[in-house]
Structure 1
Amino acid sequence: MGKGMALRTGFKAAFEQGYQYAITIDSDGQHMASDLPVFIDKIEKEPGTLIVGARNMEQSSVPGKSSFGHKFSNFWFWFETGVKLPDTQSGYRLYPLEPLYKMKWFTRKYEFEIENIVRASWKGVKVDSVPVQVYYGKERVTHFRPFKDFSRVSVLNTILVVIAILFIKPFKVIRSLNRNSIADFFKKYVFNRDESDLRKTLSVMFGVFMGIVPIWGFQLIVGITLAHLMRLNKVLFVTAAHISIPPMIPILIFLSYKAGGMVLPNGKDVLIFNRDITLENVKADLFQYTVGSMLLAVAAAVLFGLITYLLLKVFPAKQKLNTEISS
C-alpha cells in the first residue's frame, strides 16, 4: 500500500466520520507524544492550518544524510510555494481534513508527504510549523529506502517545480493584479520620465523576442542577463517575456511551425502524427519549428515595439494637453 496510501485512506475515513483534523506521528520512535499539546495550542490560535512539527536537525544525534535531505527538501518546498518551513520532512503533523478530502492525490508512498504540503499550499491552505523534540536512538527502525524513496521524491519535486514555474507562479501574479496595481505599474515603469521611450520600447521588444525564441526553460535567465548588460528596463522585459505563459504556448508553437513552413522549401503546413514517424521527420519538424519561432519572435517583437512606441507617444501627449486645458 505505501505510507502515502495509508495516510490518504486514514484521512478519508476520519473526515467521513466527522473529524476536522488528524495528527500523524512516525512509528520509528523519533517523535515524542508529549509534544501533542503544542499542535493543539497552535490549531486553536490558527484554525485550518496544516502544521508540521519542526525537528532540531542540527543536534549531534541526527545522521548527516538526514540533515542533508532535510535541507534539500526545505529548499524545494520554498521554491515551489514561496513558503519557508524549517522542516518539510517531518512526519509529525496536524492536517486539516476538509481541504485534503476535496483534493485528488497522485502519490502513494513516502513522497506523498511532500505532495500534500506543496499542493495544500497551492490551494490556499496555510502551512506552518511548531518546534518538536526528536530522538535518534540506535534502536530506531525505519522503512525508508534511501535510493528508491529519494529518487521518488526527486522526480516528484521535478514535476512540482515545472508546474510551479509554468502555472502556479504566473497565475498567482495574474490573480494579484487589480485596476490600481496595473495603473501603478504603468505609472512607475511605462510612463516613467526617467527613461527614454526608445529604451522602454526596446525592453518590450527584447522581452517579446526572448519569450518566443525556442530556448524553453532558459529564456528568463538568458534574457535578464542580456537585458542587464544592455541596460534595458528589466521589469518591462520580464513582463513582455510572459507572452509565453502556458495558455499561449500552443498558439506560439502553432504559429512558429506555420511560419517555418512558409519560408522553408519543403516546409509542411500542418504537423501530423502517425505511425510512420521517423527520426528524420522529427528532425525536419523540429528544424521547421525552430526557424519559424525565430521569424515569429522577430515579427512579434517589431509589432509590439511599434505598439509600445505609439502608446508612449500618444498617452503622454494627451496628459500634457489635459494639463494645459485645466490650467
Structure 2
Amino acid sequence: GAAILSAADWAESNGFTHIITLDADGQHNPEDTSRFVDLIKENPWTIIIGNRQFNNAVPFSSRFGRQFSNMWIWITTGWRVQDSQSGFRAYPVAALRQVNCRGRRYDFEVEILVRGVWAGLSIVYTDILVHYSDETKKASHFDPFQDNVRISRVYTWLVIRNFLPWPHKVLFNTDSKERLSILHPVRSFKLLIHESGSPKDMAFSSMLGIFMGTLPLISCHSIAIFFIATRLRLNRLVALSVSNICMPPFVPALALSVGYFIRHGRYLTEFNIQTLGYEAPQRLFEYLIGSLIVGPVLALFVGMIVYLLTMIYHNLRSSKGKDGHAG
C-alpha cells in the first residue's frame, strides 16, 4: 500500500493520470500491461484488475483466499468481483490521491477497491495468465498471520460502515444511470422493475427478503430490506415482494413456537393476556431466537425455488429467441 501511494505521488508530480502495478514475485507477465493500457483509454475512471486464470499449480490457499475475499467485497460494495486479490491492476492517480485508505500493506489492496467503489469508481477486469513456483512463494513478503489480521480488521470495519445508515461520500460522479427519487415516482418504479434479473441475483434478493421478513423488526421490515438490498445491489422490488410471505400469522407463529421450544423444551399452547401480554418481552425474545433458525432455512428453500424458476424462464426466453431468428 505504501509503495503504491508513493508511486501515485510520483506519477502525479510528473503528469501521469494512471499507474499500473504488478506483484514483484514473478507470478505476472509484464507484457500483459498492454491490455491495461487499452482498457484505461476506454474506462478512465475505473480500477482495472487482472483476473488471474488459475491452473492446477496454484496453491489451494490462493484459490480459497480469492473466493473468500470476493465474497466480502460483494458484501461491502455489492460488486461481484472476480479476483479481488490480484496485484496486477491499473489505478487512476486521482483516485489514489483522494480516496482515504488507512491500510499500508496488503490490506490496502482490498480497502482501495471498497472505498473506490464507494467514491464512485467502477471495476473492470481483463484476463491474465499467472505463474506460480517455489521461487514465487519465497519472494512473497506476505505475512500469513499479521497481514491476515490486518485484512480481517479492515473488512470488519468496512462491513460495519457499509451498513451504517448514512451515504458514502461520492468523489467521482461517473455513474450516468438514473437514480430513485420520491420526486419522480413513476421513473423510480420503472427503475425498480428493470433491476438485475439474473437467476443468482433473483435468488439472493428473495433470500434477503425472506430472512429479513422473518425477523421481529416490527414496522421496520420494508425499510430494512430496501436499505440492505440497495447496499448489496440486489433487486429491491423482488426482495420487498417476497418478504410478504412472512406476514402474520404463519411465519411469525412458527418462529415464536420454535423459539419457545428452544427455551422451554415444549410448545406454547396457552394464548392469553398472561402469555402474550404480561410476558410479551419474553415472547419477543423467543420470536427472535426462532426467527434466526426459521429465517435461514426458509430463505434457502425459497431462494432455491426462485433460482430454478428464473433459470427456467431465462432458458425459455433464450430458446424462443433462437426459434425467432431461425424463422
TM-score band, normalised by shorter chain? 0.5 to 0.7
- Cα pair distance change 1:226/1:84, threshold 3 Å: closer
TM-score normalised by L of structure 2? 0.55
1:211 CA drift (Å): 9.8
- Cα pair distance change 1:64/1:210, threshold 3 Å: same
CA distance in 1, matches of 2:161, 2:87: 24
Write out aligned runs for 1:282-301 (5 A): none
- Cα pair distance change 1:18/1:180, threshold 3 Å: same
CA distance in 2, matches of 1:34, 1:163: 38
Larger radius of gyration: 1
Give CA deviations for 1:98-120 in whole Å, capped at 9, x if unaligned.
12212222111110011111101
Q: Which residue of 2 aligns with 1:6?
A: 3
Q: Is the 8 A contact 1:51 1:94 kept in 2?
A: yes
Q: Which residue of 1 aligns with 2:63?
A: 67
CA distance in 1, matches of 2:221, 2:168: 17
Write out aligned runs for 1:109-258 (5 A): 109-140=105-136, 141-167=139-165, 176-181=180-185, 207-208=218-219, 228-231=245-248
1:15 CA drift (Å): 1.1
SS in 2 for 1:158: helix
Paired residue type of 1:180: H
SS in 1 for 2:140: coil
Q: Which residue of 2 aligns with 1:90?
A: 86
Q: Is the 8 A contact 1:50 1:95 kept in 2?
A: yes
Give CA deviations for 1:71-120 in whole Å, capped at 9, x if unaligned.
00111111111112210101100001112212222111110011111101
TM-score normalised by L of structure 1? 0.55
1:227 CA drift (Å): 6.3
Q: Which residue of 2 aligns with 1:99?
A: 95
1:17 aligns with 2:14: yes
- Cα pair distance change 1:128/1:178, threshold 3 Å: farther
1:206 CA drift (Å): 6.0
CA distance in 2, matches of 1:177, 1:25: 42
Paired residue type of 1:78: W
- Cα pair distance change 1:62/1:162, threshold 3 Å: same
1:79 aligns with 2:95: no
Give CA deviations for 1:227-272 in whole Å, capped at 9, x if unaligned.
643359xxxxxxxxxxxxxxxxxxxxxxxxxxxxxxxxxxxxxxxx
- Cα pair distance change 1:209/1:42, threshold 3 Å: closer
- Cα pair distance change 1:128/1:231, threshold 3 Å: farther
SS in 1 for 2:145: helix
| Identity between Structure 1 and Structure 2 (%) | 34
1:50 CA drift (Å): 1.1
- Cα pair distance change 1:32/1:169, threshold 3 Å: same
CA distance in 2, matches of 1:183, 1:45: 29
| Unaligned runs of at least 5 residues, structure 1 | 189-204, 218-223, 233-289, 295-327
Q: Which residue of 2 aligns with 1:45?
A: 42
CA distance in 1, matches of 2:182, 2:221: 26
SS in 2 for 1:208: coil
Q: Is the 8 A contact 1:122 1:168 kept in 2?
A: no
- Cα pair distance change 1:210/1:171, threshold 3 Å: farther
1:167 CA drift (Å): 4.1
